[in-house]
Chains A and B, each alone.
Chain A
Amino acid sequence: MMRWWLWIPLALFAGFAGLAAWQLTQPKNDFVVSAMIGNPLPSFDLRPATADRPGLSDAYFRDGRPKLLNVWASWCLPCIAEAPHLERLQRAGAEITGVAIRDRPEDVARFLNRYGNPYSRIGADDLSEVQLGIGSSGVPETFVIDGNGVIRYQHIGDIRAEHVPLLLEKLEEVGG
């Protein structure tokens, strides 16, 4: 004897499976947008992280020119992978400032000697205060800051070859 209600569970499950399958085919935009985007940089004034570059303060970002702010550390492995792409960005005309997270001056110097130094200024963020203040949760991360010191774009993770044009484009956008 066939009883139709015995098929209800299967019908419900089929509905769920269909919905889930449809969801899986949807393009995902899981990019975590920092809550700080659109906000000005918090006020900070960091001592130099290394002897041959000046330190960094939020005031430096208000000179009308857009800049990249790269959060990194000498002990961070992806930062090594990122280094050549930062140099390419610098050669393409981007100004790159750095915030070194919990680093010693000699480690910073060794890293820059070995992997190149694309930074105009590097501040030492010993307590991760600036890092947390601008909504970054890991190294490396790169922010596009406009000429008024407002955070306009956040790139999470290391910069790879394909990200270079994108970051240049973002700089162009906020500069114009």
Chain B
Amino acid sequence: MIAELGLAALWLAAALSVLQLVAGALGQRENSGELATLVRPAAVIQGVLAGISFVMLLCLFARTDLSVKLVAMNSHSDKPLVFKLAGAWGNHEGSMLLWVTVMALAGALIAAAEKRLPEKTMRATLAAQAFVGIGFYAFLLFASNPFERLPQPALEGLGLNPLLQDIGLAFHPPTLYFGYVGLSIAFSFAVGALLTRQVTPDFARAMRPWVLGAWIFLTLGITAGSYWAYYELGWGGWWFWDPVENASLMPWLAATALLHSASVLASRDALRAWTIMLGVVAFSMSMVGTFLVRSGILTSVHAFAVDPERGTFILALLVLYIGGALAVFGLRAGTVSEGQRFSLISREGALVFNNVMLSAILGVVLIGTLYPLLTEAFDVRVSVGPPYFNPVGAIFTLPMLAIMAVGPLLRWRQDRLERISKPAIAAAVAALAALVIVLLIGGVSVLPLLGLALAAGLAVASFMPLRGRKLTRVPTATWGMVIAHFGIAVALFGMASESAFSEERLAAVEIGGSAQVGKWNVALDAVDPVAGPNWTALQGRLFATYGDGSPIELGPQSRDFWSPVQQTTESALVTRWNGQLYAVLGNQNADGRWQLRLWWKPFVTFIWYGGMLIALGGLLALIGRLVGDIKRRRIRARGDVRRADEAELAAARPAAAS
């Protein structure tokens, strides 16, 4: 019954999205009458229905209803409840339902709360959103129904991929999804504004919280995903330039550019066409990423839910939405005038530079990700990895970071470089000092060296916008920018020192023996079997000592799951302020010694601290913007009341006179 209820709600939601599209599209005509007023209610009810549908799926997973195919395929009655629930979105169908649900709920929120834009633009936006939604509903209802029943209930579920039975990962995909879906809202706003030629600062302000929200989730998702890959996959790295990773990085790059160009549009009424373009591109990157991951046309270490038929469906959606939006862009963007002018040396100028560099990096990642596809067309199989991405990406990243350090110090419209020479010199001195120190340590290759120097300069520069201001009166959004930029410096420092100073040791150790890595001495005390709820494992007991410190006990495991059978590596980590010791237990050699893989990674944790700071900065900016909007609305409302009072007085006066 629950499954049928969920399916019915999904069908109804799909029907309402059709109504939303038709009413929104016809509402563009001048005398569309009552039909146009249906757009907002349709969006709200659609959101509620999609929500109901997703809650029903959660119920099915919570109860482990094995008569439902999706549950039988992805869950198991032995699993802890939190992983049962996570199983609802840890698969293709469920994650698509989550996508559509979040999108519908966001649509409901816009329909209920957004009052800034002209009603016509709002209708076009909601119609565009319904248009995108319909494709996903069709995908769910015709090609991947999450509520499909089995002819015979299964005896037991097939379980969730044990690699995914991890609390971090259970919440990793929805985090990214919120990001992707937030960008779909930005896309709808862009299309709506383009269709009605209302590319105004108000449009940028209406779109900005969605972009910011999406960007925060993407940042958190990428940060968490990178840390998960680092400790769960057991190979000691934190970024692999894998297609799946790139699929989340590309929309982040586009969203970062969009965020900055929307700021220019909101405060300076410039970069109109460019902002629209990025709005379309950011969401396109989410869809292209989804397509590459799901269709199986690229092979990935994370490959999941691969299916060429689904790939065809997603490609059709891509062509329809992105192709359609870009065609509208080609037709209309020329009629959207570029707005205010500005000189090259100005805040806008720096932001344009940042945008161009971000787009170039996006291009580098996209080309690297698609290149194997292209060469395969000529029957050459290649794989593109760090030797391409790192140096080519750096060509654009390093100058972008340098401009990012000084950009926020510049004034809008026009400025002189002499005005910011003092803080710029301070940042340059910090960078130079770091460069010299690292050169003295020696043995560091060019890119990490430049990274460390830039990180130092950027860290200093990121606080410069606060210089000479009363800290209590600095707007929340500015704090957000300062912290996010500082976060980039912190993450960059982590990345550069990890690649510059990491030490690795692969040792065969007998019980009672020990191995050295960096300043660490790691002793192997025992290897014992242990059992968990649905796995067995061999667990090493290690005692790690840093210098003269006291020993810390570590328990890396080599874990075997039995439903389905799979072996995973549970690495063990010791975190100090200056880095992490990373230990993996390998197999036993024929002579009885155990393989231990040890890494000492100085300041590696700063990568993820940086990621969290960036997200925190985004959050502060979002809060600052929302509070500002509410204040502005209140002031405007007060103004409206005053105007209404005056109108009433004016109307009353002649009556009193007569």
> A102–B538 Cα gap in the complex (Å)?
14
Instruction: Give min CB distance, A114 to chain B, whole Å.
Output: 15
A2 and B377 contact, CB distance less than 8 A: no
Q: Which A residues, 1 to 27, have Cβ-Cβ distances below 8 Å to chain B?
A: 1-3, 6-7, 9-10, 13-14, 16-17, 19-24, 26
Binary flags per residue of A98-128, CB closer than 8 Å to B gives 1, else 0: 0001100000000000000000000000011
- Is the Cβ of B334 less than 8 Å from the Cβ of A28? no
With A6-B329, A20-B315, A24-B297 already in contact, the answer to whether A1 and B334 are too (CB < 8 A) is yes
B297 touches A10 (CB 8 A): no
User: Contacts A19-B373, A23-B376: A128 and B567 contacting too (C-beta < 8 A)?
Assistant: yes
Cross-chain contact B308 with A24 (CB below 8 angstroms): yes
Within 8 A of B (CB), among A56-107: 73, 75-77, 101-102
Which residue in chain A gives the minimum CB-CB distance to B295? A24
Whether a CB of chain B sits under 8 angstroms from the CB of A30 is: yes
B residues near A76, Cβ cutoff 8 Å:
565
Would you call A145 an interface residue if the criterion is a C-beta within 8 Å of the partner chain's C-beta atoms? no
Taking CB atoms, residues of chain B closer than 8 Å to A147 are none
How far, in Å, is A115 (CB) from chain B's closest CB?
15
The smallest C-beta distance from B587 to any residue of chain A, in angstroms, reads: 8
Q: Is A35 interfacial (CB-CB < 8 Å)?
A: no
State how many angstroms separate the Cβ of B537 from the closest Cβ of chain A. Answer: 11
Does chain A have a CB within 8 A of B498?
no
Contact between chains at A10 and B315 (CB < 8 Å): no
Interface residue tally of chain B, by bracket? 35 or more
Report yes or no: A13 in contact with B284, Cβ–Cβ below 8 A. Answer: yes
Out of B323, B335, B376, B587, which one reaches A10, CB within 8 Å?
A: B323
The winner among A23, A28, A139 for most chain B CB atoms within 10 A is A23
Complex CA gap A76/B562 in Å reads: 9
Is A19 a contact of B370 with CB atoms below 8 Å?
Answer: yes
A8 closest partner in B (C-beta) = B330
Contact present for B297 and A102 (CB under 8 Å): no
Q: Are B564 and A10 in contact (CB under 8 A)?
A: no
Interface positions, chain B 291-325, Cβ under 8 Å from A, are 291, 295-297, 299, 306, 308, 311-312, 315, 318-319, 322-323
How far, in whole Å, are A28 and B309 apart by their CA atoms in the complex? Answer: 12
Residues of A within 8 A of B291 (CB): 20
Complex contact B319–A19 (CB within 8 A)? no
**B288 contacts partner chain A, Cβ-Cβ < 8 Å:** yes
Smallest CB separation, B384 vs chain A (Å): 15
The reply to whether the CB of B575 lies closer than 8 angstroms to some CB of chain A is no
Q: Which of B281, B297, B327, B564 is the one whose CB lies under 8 Å from A23? A: B297
Q: What are 24 A-B contacts defined by CB distance under 8 Å?
A: A2-B334, A9-B281, A10-B326, A10-B329, A14-B323, A17-B315, A17-B318, A19-B374, A19-B377, A20-B318, A20-B373, A23-B297, A24-B297, A24-B311, A28-B296, A28-B308, A30-B299, A73-B565, A101-B565, A127-B538, A132-B567, A132-B587, A137-B565, A138-B564
